[in-house]
């Protein structure tokens, strides 16, 4: 059989055991925040009138390029838990009470949306991979999600906690391995995040808190992953090839998060974008080796939008055309950095743009990338099937 015939078979959906993304779904809390109104609302809610901090947050809100975000936080929550706005008050119990319920509900809604698009019954799901950096409990969110969806008690579950922004791609890598090593399996990957776990009043001693206020959003994402799709029912979107995880030694303090009595406290060092720029080329070259491609602009790019500085550094280092990161920038503008969820939103925008182009000059191969604590690089070589 010639290579042309192999290519045709793959395009028809016979993926030769390679895992494929079969459906995407997302969900959000009800509170939509417009970026231009965020500063006044945040300072009012936290009873702060510091003009210096307010000016700083105004600047940050403009540089993040975020326009809208969804958040769990509401007046109702603040009225019920006013201690969340008090500096130094132990509130981790209250935060987890809110977060545990919220992330489960969002994960259920995103998963249901994804399953509806997939087209097969929920009883066909054999495995669940659950990702979150916004909760802590026993049993974990994986069990609560399985129960909320009505999954079979025999569903095999994997839970990934506190992987931050790289969690979505890490979960996809794990789901890929499960699908390829368990013939006939169908894996539900669900991610869910809320910023309430780290919500705090502004403080001159914690400047990064303001970056989080200006950048991060809440929501959930979901995917169905499986090999050898049934083309009478399923519509494979992406085929997953080489998957790599790599951490950079001695960089574990660059992204530092601690669970304290006041919730999660984050510290992000300024050199993060530079570190990513210094290592992104070699990491991508390893992923691209499987197809022998040398030109970065011959690929499509699904990059987790950690922030505009990271996207700008990746674009600059790889000499990407401006449109190559358009899906990532759109996701950042519309949803903020929603941590592990955001890669789902980026992939949806790539599919949307693919329909507009209708295959004319649209790259077949691409990279799914994310960067998280460690510093950890996650990447998957991917092929579009539609």
Complete edge-to-edge strand list for the sheet that includes strand 127-132: 156-161, 127-132, 186-193, 219-227, 19-27, 238-247, 376-384, 365-372, 300-303
Distance from C-alpha of 231 to C-alpha of 14, rounded to nearest angstrom: 9
Burial class (CB in 10 A: 0-12, 13-18, 19+), 103: buried
Return the DSSP state at 289: T
Calpha distance 48→154 (Å, rounded): 51
Q: What's the start-to-end Cα distance of the chain, in Å?
A: 23
Catalytic residues: 165
Give the gyration radius of the chain's Cα atoms: 21
Distance of CA 201 to the CA centre of its chain: 26
CA pair distance 222, 141, nearest whole angstrom:
14
Helix, coil or strand: residue 347: helix
Q: Pairing mode, if any, of strands 31-34 and 68-71? A: antiparallel
Instruction: Evaluate whether 10 touches 239 at the Cβ level (below 8 Å).
Output: yes
**Cα 188 to Cα 157: distance, rounded to the nearest angstrom:** 10
CA–CA separation, 375 and 166 (whole Å): 10
How many angstroms separate the CA atoms of 215 and 313, rounded? Answer: 17
Q: Are 169 and 304 in contact (CB under 8 A)?
A: yes
Q: Where are the beta strands (DSSP E) in the chain?
A: 19-27, 31-34, 68-71, 127-132, 156-161, 186-193, 219-227, 238-247, 255-260, 263-268, 300-303, 365-372, 376-384
């Amino acid at each position: 059989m010639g290579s042309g015939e192999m290519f045709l078979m793959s395009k028809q959906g016979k993926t030769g055991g390679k895992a494929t993304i079969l459906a995407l779904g997302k969900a959000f809390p009800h509170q939509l925040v417009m970026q231009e109104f965020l500063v006044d609302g945040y300072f009012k809610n936290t009873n702060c009138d510091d003009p210096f901090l307010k000016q700083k947050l105004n600047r940050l809100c403009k540089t993040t390029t975020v326009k809208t975000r969804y958040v769990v936080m509401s007046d109702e929550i603040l009225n019920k838990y006013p201690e969340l706005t008090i500096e130094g008050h132990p509130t981790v119990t209250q935060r987890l009470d809110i977060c545990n319920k919220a992330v489960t509900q969002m994960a259920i809604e995103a998963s249901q949306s994804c399953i509806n698009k997939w087209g097969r019954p929920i009883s066909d799901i054999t495995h669940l991979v659950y990702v979150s950096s916004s909760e802590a409990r026993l049993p974990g969110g994986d069990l609560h999600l399985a129960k909320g969806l009505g999954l079979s008690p025999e569903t095999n579950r994997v839970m990934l906690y506190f992987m931050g922004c790289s969690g979505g791609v890490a979960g996809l890598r794990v789901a890929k391995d499960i699908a390829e090593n368990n013939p006939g399996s169908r894996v539900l990957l669900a991610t869910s995040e809320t910023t309430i776990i780290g919500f705090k009043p502004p403080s001159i001693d914690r400047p990064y808190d303001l970056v989080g206020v200006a950048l991060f959003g809440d929501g959930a994402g979901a995917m169905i992953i499986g090999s050898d799709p049934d083309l009478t029912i399923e519509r494979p979107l992406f085929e997953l090839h080489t998957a790599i995880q790599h951490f950079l030694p001695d960089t574990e303090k660059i992204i530092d998060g601690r669970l304290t009595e006041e919730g999660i406290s984050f510290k992000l060092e300024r050199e993060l974008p530079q570190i990513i720029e210094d290592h992104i080329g070699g990491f991508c070259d390893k992923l691209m080796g499987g197809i022998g491609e040398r030109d970065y602009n011959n690929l499509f790019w699904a990059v987790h939008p950690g922030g505009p500085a990271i996207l700008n550094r990746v674009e600059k280092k790889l000499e990407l055309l401006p449109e190559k990161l358009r899906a990532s920038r759109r996701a950042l503008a519309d949803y903020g950095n929603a941590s592990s969820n955001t890669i789902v939103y980026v992939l949806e925008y790539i599919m949307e743009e693919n329909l507009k182009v209708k295959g004319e000059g649209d790259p077949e191969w691409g990279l799914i990338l994310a960067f998280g604590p460690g510093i950890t690089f996650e990447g998957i070589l991917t092929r579009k099937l539609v």
